Amino acid sequence: MRLLIVEDDEILGEALHRHATKQGHGVDLVTTGDSANDILKHTAYDLVVLDLNLPGLSGDRVLQNLRSRKTNTPVLILTARDQIYDRIQLLDLGADDYLTKPFDFGELEARSRALLRRSQGQANNTITYGNLILDRSACTVTIDQQPIDLKQREFRLLEIFLSHLGRVLSKEELLDHLYCFDDSPSPNAIETYVARLRKKLQTSTVEIRTLRGLGYLLDREDG
């Protein structure tokens, strides 16, 4: 998934970026409220992790501006504020969840997964389609209860397809979900990952169809 991390603490920001990147996500990191506000005007993210105490524009204002543009991107707030009134105010401003610093990375991951599930209308961390099951929390995929070995990008690509069932996804959309600004992949990269994923899904009842000139669609062979 494509994540935006907004954190001015260099050590924490880099740690968050490194951790999410290791999970196979496309991650952009900015350190000021003004940069976050600008980038959110032009780029769609699956999740925003937003600190409140930022140079320039505050995190509160970044959130307020995002919601004023009628954008429903899930926002997880990182805050040192621990008073009930502050937490209520954040939720009323449009935050979807919050974590009080210091926090555990495992809890951050769990809350992020919960926000992604909610935004995609899913009840739990497992997605079942045909005889295939993807488990977000364990980062595993099984076909007829047998595990298959997927690389991180392949896993995230399959996760994107399963999160957008019934939708044709263009190469550009897939690139936007998988990569950050620091990456410079060509559309051919998507073709390569799709080809690898197709090969590993051969024993499943799921197929990735190519719609010429439009993109890709995940479908069930038995549907």
- Digit-coded pLDDT (tens) for 65-92: 999 999 889 999 998 877 777 778 888 8
pLDDT at residue 59 greater than cutoff 90: yes
pLDDT reported for residue 112: 92
pLDDT reported for residue 191: 92
pLDDT at residue 223 greater than cutoff 60: no
Structure tokens, 198: 């197709």
| Architecture (CATH level 2) of domain 126-220 | Orthogonal Bundle (1.10)
The string of pLDDT tens digits covering residues 116-167 is 888 877 767 899 999 999 998 888 999 999 999 999 889 999 999 998 998 9
pLDDT reported for residue 17: 93
CA distance 178 to 36: 19
**Cβ–Cβ under 8 Å, residues 32 and 57:** yes
3-state class (DSSP) for residue 149: coil
Instruction: Quickly state the pLDDT bin for 61 (edges 50, 70, 90).
Output: very high
Q: What CATH code would you report for 2-119?
A: 3.40.50.2300
Q: Where in the chain is the domain with CATH 3.40.50.2300?
A: 2-119
Q: Where in the chain is the domain with CATH 1.10.10.10?
A: 126-220
* Pairing, β 2-6 against β 140-143: unpaired
Buried b (16+ CB within 10 A) or exposed e, 33-48: bebbbebbeeeebbbb
What predicted TM-score, i.e. pTM, was given to this entire model?
Answer: 0.78
CA distance 210 to 114: 31
pLDDT reported for residue 155: 94
Nearest to 2 by CA among 174, 190, 179: 179
**Cβ–Cβ under 8 Å, residues 115 and 47:** yes
The sheet carrying 97-100 orders its strands as 26-30, 2-6, 47-51, 75-79, 97-100
Chain-wide mean pLDDT for the chain?
Answer: 90
CA distance 108 to 114: 10
Beta bridge partners of 210: 216
pLDDT reported for residue 122: 74
